[in-house]
Amino acid sequence: MTFVQVIDCRTSRVDELNRLMDTWVASTQGKRTATHSVVGTDRDDSTHVVEIVEFPSYEEAKRNSDLPETGRIFEEMVALCDDVPRFTDLDVVRDEQLNKATARSFFEEISKGNPNALEGLCTPGYVDHDPGNGPEPVGRAEAESIAARYVGAISPTFLIDDQVAEGDMVTTRWTVTGTHDGEFMGLPPTGRPVRITGQTTHRFDHGLIAEAWWNWDQFGLLSQIGMVEL
């Protein structure tokens, strides 16, 4: 279970505290178990500083606390603060990255071949970058039309292998399986199974997908259905 520790303190020496955190990051490289750290100052009180640190589990957090470097940095942190920092330990019961969920829905919807598959998921000005469709990006309507042609040709099923989110960007690594049971680029159905891997990066704008960049094994698809030879 993911574990989060909230460290709450007051200090007028925020810049020094920030440099101290840089020192801890450098000195614990290859040792620390923390996976994510956010430090913020209260907009209503700049001396009120909160750090939120994420760990894979409570046990991993304990290992992190037991590092000599952590103990040393904590002592220096206390010296910078106006009072002793307060710790709140949290077991995470819900962790939902909303843009990731929307990206998953994107693949689910386009695999259905619906003519308006991206409605409600993408902005009206959505831009799709796919080298397989030519050097110029296309808009939402054309992207839906292209997706429908692929769906009609290979009846794809998307498996989400991994997702990484950073700011307004989500990158999804995926695998598609299907069967060439429809006409594709003039080639009649061959009935051959296909398996394609790729990744897509989505840029979000207010919860909707505004742009996508595709990188996938188009040559692998063409070879599997017999359009090109390896």
CA proximity to 62, closest of 9, 1, 3, 6: 3
pLDDT at 1: 78
- Mean per-residue pLDDT for 93-113? 92
- pLDDT of 13 above 70: yes
CATH assignment of the domain containing 128: 3.10.450.50
pLDDT at 165: 93
pLDDT at 230: 64
- pLDDT of 211 above 90: yes
Q: Alpha-carbon distance 186 to 95, whole Å?
A: 46
Please, where are the H alpha helices in 28-176? 58-65, 68-80, 98-110, 140-154
pLDDT band at 3 (very low <50, low <70, confident <90, very high): very high
Specify whether 81 is located in the same domain as 161: no
Specify whether 10 is located in the same domain as 87: yes
| Residue 57 domain flag | yes
Specify whether 123 is located in the same domain as 218: yes
Q: What is the pTM of this model?
A: 0.80
